[in-house]
Amino acid sequence: MIQFKYCLYTKYIKKGKWKMIKRLNKNFFAAILTFAMAIGMIAPVNVAANDEYLNFDQDSIYAIVSTTTGKALNIKTASWTSPAEADGEYNAKTNKISNSSQFMFINENDGSVTIKYTGINDGQDYYLRTESGQTYVWADTRNEDTTAKYKITKTADNQGIIESMKRTNEYLSIDSKGKLVYTSDRDLAEKFNFVKNPGIISNIAWIENVATGKLVTFADQPDENFSAIKVTGDAGNIGDTEKFKVTFHTNDNGIKNVISFESVSKPGYQIASAKWVDGAVPTIGSYKKVCNCRKPGTGMFEMAEKDFPVDKTASYMIGDKLLDTEAGHRFGVTSILVGTGYGAELHKEQQEKGEKPSYDHYAEDLGQAAQWILERK
């Protein structure tokens, strides 16, 4: 622009019209000054750039790692009552995670993604879900809605913030205890690194008797229930019969973070109890197999549904354990926790922690539960 004006001035000077040039020059700079002052009086306007969303390979495994803590999203228990956490192990040097931090991203037609946990193989799919009145949970899908859908905005290569599609302007963050929470302030949203196909830190262990140096072994272990487990394995020759997969779970009594040891040589069989002395008679049994036929699986309900017409809108699941009510929710029926057995203690614990219950109603006993059902009709 300046060079162009300079050429014009040169042309006028050569024609001997200096006075005109001087007048034009004065008017020109006055106009420039006026324009600059006008620009300076205009308040700056923020123009938001279009968000760029991350793309994921649907056939790959990802780790989701907090840029603040260096911890990975992980699952101790896939449950409607267990908040999702970001306190899993991630080794940046070796690029490895624990088995409980493996996730896949499923691309949806509306541009969002669902985040699926791949560390459990029990016939159910577990997704990160946004639940009203609490943090986030890893649980199976009751229906196809926005509670399991997210948009991930790119902040850097393989890095982004996660936005829930259930509520407007809801972004994932992490509290001081490592739990996933939401924030409406985008600037406070946690930035996550998405690590493609990380290595897996082995969760395989063997169990040694301190007194004898012998290992628990499934060598020649029969299939019958309550069969004794030998503690005679050779520590110098460890094979699959002496190896166990170590996992965390919630037991039948609703107690969280219980450690389980599943046999590598006999998949599905776990140690139920043990006295760690030579000649111990701990027990295993087929009732400990991972099976959709056991609560919170819905196999029993599905078998009944094949033989009897079931109106889920008028059906109820009543139980005194969270496994009972969770099974009911998975099947799509209204669930009631009763205070008999473990129910009262579980209900009190959830109230004290401010957790959203995984059941639809709490009753002191079966009589109150029946009365509540009748009043709904």
Q: Are residues 182 and 211 in the same domain?
A: no
Q: Are residues 218 and 194 in the same domain?
A: no
Q: What would the mean pLDDT of 151-180 be, rounded to a whole number?
A: 88
Q: What is the domain-level CATH number for residue 175?
A: 2.80.10.50
Q: What would the mean pLDDT of 88-94 be, rounded to a whole number?
A: 87
Tokens of 200: 């897996």
User: Per-residue pLDDT tens for 167-221?
Assistant: 778 899 998 878 888 888 999 999 999 999 999 887 788 888 777 788 888 888 8
Q: Are residues 34 and 81 in the same domain?
A: no
Pick from 98-102, 258-262, 267-271, 277-281: least confident: 277-281
pTM over 0.85: no
Q: Are residues 33 and 88 in the same domain?
A: no
Q: What is the domain-level CATH number for residue 370?
A: 3.40.50.1000
Q: Is residue 315 part of a domain?
A: yes
Residue 265: Cβ within 10 Å count: 15
Task: Show Cβ contacts of residue 251 under 8 Å, excluding neighbours closer than 6 positions.
Answer: 258
Q: Is residue 296 part of a domain?
A: no
Distance CA 227, CA 222 (A): 7
Domain that holds residue 142: 62-200
Q: Is residue 232 part of a domain?
A: yes
Q: Are residues 259 and 191 in the same domain?
A: no
Residue where one domain finishes, among candidates 264, 288, 312: 288
How large a percentage of the chain has pLDDT more than 90?
A: 21
Q: Is residue 177 part of a domain?
A: yes
Distance CA 255, CA 187 (A): 37
Instruction: Tell me what the pLDDT averaged over the chain comes to.
Output: 76
Distance CA 96, CA 52 (A): 28
User: Per-residue pLDDT tens for 26-76?
Assistant: 555 555 555 555 545 544 443 345 678 888 998 999 999 999 999 999 887
pLDDT for 252 equals: 54
Q: Answer whether residue 143 shows pLDDT above 60.
A: no
Cβ–Cβ under 8 Å, residues 336 and 365 = no
Q: Are residues 68 and 191 in the same domain?
A: yes
Tokens of 7: 């050429």
Q: Are residues 262 and 333 in the same domain?
A: no
Q: pLDDT band at residue 145, thresholds of 50, 70 and 90?
A: low
Q: Is residue 370 part of a domain?
A: yes
Residue where one domain finishes, among candidates 147, 172, 200: 200
Task: Show Cβ contacts of residue 310 under 8 Å, excluding neighbours closer than 6 positions.
Answer: 301, 304
Q: Is residue 54 part of a domain?
A: no
Q: pLDDT band at residue 2, thresholds of 50, 70 and 90?
A: very low
Residue where one domain finishes, among candidates 174, 200, 226: 200
Better pLDDT: 126 or 46: 126
Q: How far separated are the first and last CA of the chain, in Å rounded?
A: 81
Q: Is residue 130 part of a domain?
A: yes
Cβ–Cβ under 8 Å, residues 87 and 129 = no
C-alpha torsion sign, points 249, 252, 256, 262: negative
Task: Show Cβ contacts of residue 13 under 8 Å, excluding neighbours closer than 6 positions.
Answer: 21
- How many structural domains comprise the chain? 4
Q: Is residue 293 part of a domain?
A: no
Q: Are residues 227 and 190 in the same domain?
A: no
Q: Answer whether residue 262 shows pLDDT above 70.
A: yes
Q: Are residues 185 and 67 in the same domain?
A: yes
Q: Are residues 271 and 165 in the same domain?
A: no
Tokens of 194: 């998405």
pLDDT for 138 equals: 78
Q: Are residues 260 and 332 in the same domain?
A: no
pLDDT for 162 equals: 94
pLDDT for 25 equals: 53
Q: Answer whether residue 341 shows pLDDT above 90.
A: no
Q: pLDDT band at residue 280, thresholds of 50, 70 and 90?
A: very low
Q: Answer whether residue 354 shows pLDDT above 60.
A: yes
Q: Are residues 73 and 177 in the same domain?
A: yes
